[in-house]
Structure 1
Amino acid sequence: MPLDEIALEELGLAPRWVRKGMSAAQSAAPNDEPAVDVAPEAAASVAAVPRPVAQSASDASDGFPDRPAAHLQHRADAPPQPVARRVTAQTSAQESMQESMQESMQESAQDAFAQAPAPQAPSGRAATEPTQAGPEEPPPLTEDDFAWFDGAPEPSLPHDPAPAPARAPRDDIATLDWDALAERVAFCTRCRLCEKRTNTVFGVGDRAAEWMLIGEAPGENEDRLGEPFVGQAGKLLDNMLRSLSLARGENVYIANVIKCRPPGNRNPEPDEVARCEPYLQRQVALVKPKIIVALGRFAAQSLLKTEGSIASLRGRVHEYEGVPVIVSYHPAYLLRSLQDKSKAWADLCLARDTWRAAGGGER
């Protein structure tokens, strides 16, 4: 049996199209068909192919009941044909068989599709409900869907409270008493001077004194000890007060315009003076002095809001917060300029006369 017939038999397609292919092969090769020239090598290869052995009618009918046994007998008894003619006939038969196979497969697919049962609508109550076309699509991913990327939540542990923010300037300084005012100055952060200080210099002396002496800013010794006018300048100031029958802490209160030491003993900046002045104003209001002595150019200019020199401000009575003010030299300056001590003594005499005129010494 030829190879093409064996393949068709294994596919189960022989009963339908074998007869079509064989009849087409016989019609394609009539007796008067002209021979086709074939190359000697091709003819030799075709001739070398073994011819099928004739089968009996019983063998053919066992495998394919609907296949006539006479057909196989006819092929076995047929006289041999020329090589060229047999090649032409076999080629035409193979082409016809391929076309028949394609038509048969299409017909089988159409029959299978036609015989498939049609979908039936559900009966009863479910028939009235819309049918679902497959499973619902998952909702779009959100940030919560990726939570598994994060690590496991850490156990809650007690933590330190957040650090308190820096204290902002407050406008209630004018209502503070002595203790509250001293505490406010000790923790003051109203200007940049708080970053370099060692101690604030609040003030020292009699809080009900009639004399109030005001310097400009703490120096190195004052920053270390937290008290105004210490060291050699402080000793000179104590001698000046003694000449007036006064003493530190006895009817005298000493303070500074600035409560923190400027780095390098530089002059305070205007914004530093403005932020620190409310403390001095409250101290003056609490002490209620009858005379103020401004010691040094910077203290005089800050209190009187002027840029005048010491020479232009001395010898006259000024006023600060309703209190008479006398301008004089700073004790540290007098240590370097001994010739001006006499001028400082004249300033103290003017302050004593002004104090007396204001009713000083009558308490």
Structure 2
Amino acid sequence: MDRAAELFTHQQAAEVCKSCRLCQTRTKVVYGEGNPNTDLMFIGEGPGRDEDLSGRPFVGLAGQLLDQIIGAVQISRESVYIANMVKCRPPNNRNPEPDEVAACRPWLDQQLSIIRPKVIVTLGNVPTQYLMNIRQGITRTRGNWYDFHHSSGFTAHLMPIYHPAFLLRNPTRQVGGPKSLTWRDIKEVKATLDRFRQGEMEAAAPAAEEDQGRLF
């Protein structure tokens, strides 16, 4: 079975999942979407209102900003895979509870074991803290590389960045602000990904600070 077919099989099972209380308030399960053969995967925390209605991840304002961020370094949405820690919307857009993340974790683990990305970008605190089993907040972890070892046997480079929703709430383009730092981070992600594709396994040097205001 190829990767796309395997993911589709798991998606069909996820769409009838009742493993936690989030199934009681969801409209649609938001399993994930993208290129199953990608080497770059983005992981957020959970669906919002627009995603709950459409069944697709990152399609609201935060998703549109994510598209702009990756597009600024010539990465297309169609070339990556996008998923969340939980597949159903938490009520009132609250953070998912630990038991909800635990109940939903097998779905994400299946996605990771099938796709086996070389680079993972976590969006915000929730996926970073759960995947890396750390307590530090995003202001301390963003922009740093971590080795991610998955139970299925593969290892990836993982970088946390600010969640696009946080950037929408903090739109300043001041140098050293959240958008400026995200611009630096996504450039380093792209540079490191390019090195992997060229057969060089070391991480890229940090990108220089520069104005990103015209891009996102």
Q: How far 1:177 moved relative to its partner?
A: 2.2
1:256 equivalent among 61, 84, 89: 84
Q: Larger radius of gyration, structure 1 or 2?
A: 1
C-alpha offsets along residues 272-302 of structure 1, whole Å, 9 cap, x if unaligned? 1111111111111111211111011112112
Larger fraction in helix: 1
Contact 1:290–1:360 under 8 Å retained in 2 = no
The answer on 1:344 being equivalent to 2:173 is no
Query: In structure 1, the residue corresponding to 2:67 is in which secondary structure?
Result: helix
Q: How far is the alpha carbon of 1:319 from its aligned partner?
A: 2.6
Deviations 1:16-46 (A, max 9, x none): xxxxxxxxxxxxxxxxxxxxxxxxxxxxxxx
Counterpart residue number, 1:283: 111
1:361 to partner: Cα distance: 8.9
Equivalent residue for 1:202?
31
Q: Is the 8 A contact 1:190 1:275 kept in 2?
A: yes
Deviation for aligned residue 1:219: 0.6
Q: Which residue of 2 aligns with 1:327?
A: 160
CA offsets 1:151-170 (integer angstroms, 9 cap, x no match): xxxxxxxxxxxxxxxxxxxx
How many residue pairs are counted as aligned between the two chains? Answer: 186
2:128 equivalent to 1:295: no
Displacement after TM superposition at 1:241 (Å): 1.3
Deviation at 1:187, TM superposition (A): 0.6
- In 2, the alpha carbon distance for the partners of 1:357 and 1:317 equals 14
Cα-to-partner distance string for 1:69-116 (whole Å, 9 max, x where unaligned): xxxxxxxxxxxxxxxxxxxxxxxxxxxxxxxxxxxxxxxxxxxxxxxx
When you count strand as a share of all residues, which structure comes out higher? 2
* TM-score calculated relative to the size of structure 1: 0.49
Pairing of 1:303-322 with structure 2 (within 5 A): 303-320=131-148, 321=150, 322=155
Deviation, 1:317, is 0.7
Instruction: Give the 3-state SS of the residue equivalent to 2:43 in structure 1.
Output: strand
Gaps of 5+ in 1: 1-175
CA distance in 2, matches of 1:360, 1:279: 31
Aligned-residue offset at 1:213:
0.7
TM norm structure 2: 0.81
Q: Give distance in 2, aligned partners of 1:319 and 1:360.
A: 19
Q: Which residue of 1 aligns with 2:52?
A: 223
- 1:177 partner SS: helix
Counterpart of 1:62 in structure 2 is none
State the match for 1:186 in structure 2: 15
Partner Cα separation in structure 2 for residue 244 and residue 257 of structure 1: 25
Query: How far, CA to CA, are the matches of 1:276 and 1:213 in structure 2?
Result: 17
Q: Contact 1:291/1:355 (CA < 8 Å) preserved in 2?
A: yes
Q: 1:122-141 alignment to 2 at 5 Å?
A: none
Q: CA deviation at 1:315?
A: 2.5
Structure 1 residue matching 2:193: 3-state secondary structure: helix
Gaps of 5+ in 2: 173-177, 201-216
Q: What SS does structure 1 have at the residue aligned with 2:71?
A: helix
Is the 1:217–1:262 Cα contact (8 Å) retained in structure 2? yes
Paired-residue identity, %: 42
CA RMSD, aligned part only? 1.7
Distance in 1 (alpha carbons) for counterparts of 2:62 and 2:99 = 27
SS of match in other structure, 1:358: helix
Find the aligned partners of 2:118 and 2:12 in 1 and give their Cα distance.
Answer: 26
